[in-house]
Structure 1
């Protein structure tokens, strides 16, 4: 069974992807009315044995409105005039979505306290601004 490599450690079986074709909507003249160029690529992420649980959860969350209630991800491609280019486009978008989900989330930021030097610089800057504003006032009468 051919496998599609997503990352160095993650790949999915091609049989997990299903394609269906339909006539594309929009402008295109006579071609759009007789040729099924639109591609719907489906991937059942919820039941895929290839995905670890954390990647599966991130993938379904990242897919947003493209994911069904059952956890199936549907990518529709109809930009191009040929079925082949739309198939390639749909597959590329699906793989990019899975690659994005495979990236681990960045670690949470640890709160740190400001250093003594940064506190002093901040207070010095405030006093300098105050002095500049004080100098803008009317001259004092002696």
Structure 2
């Protein structure tokens, strides 16, 4: 499922810290991307609810998914990085989780466990001190 949500992302730039030499002080290379989940035309209401639930820690009170990037030296590179991060977050949040099927231990496994407990008990009994009155 390849969806291009570039048209729905609002970009904002700011001066970035880190590497870049004199560029850091002059050029706004840090890019912040905001995507309004509720206003998206690419997803159904169920998918939007799933995204809101699974990405709740990254979504603001206004309903925007907020992603920043300042790892690249250019604004364009950071913009591409924001788009990549947002699409990755969305696709991973939409993956259906497998439902765990509860299972019971097999009869052989139960017997093996009980047998190992009995063996452990015998080993501990053999470590006890011998009482003289038991042999008289």
Same fold (TM over 0.5): yes
Unpaired runs of at least 5, structure 2: none
TM-score, L = length of structure 2? 0.82
Paired residues for 1:1-142 under 5 Å: 7=1, 11-25=3-17, 29-107=21-99, 109-139=100-130, 141=132, 142=135
TM-score, L = length of structure 1? 0.79
More deviation, 127-136/112-121: 112-121
Report the aligned-residue RMSD. Answer: 2.2
Local SS of the residue matching 1:66: coil
**Where do 4+ consecutive residues of structure 1 move more than 4 Å?**
26-29
Unpaired runs of at least 5, structure 1: 1-6
Q: Structure 1 pair 17/64, CA: closer, same or farther in 2 (3 Å)?
A: same
**Equivalent residue pairs, number:** 133
Q: Structure 1 pair 78/55, CA: closer, same or farther in 2 (3 Å)?
A: same
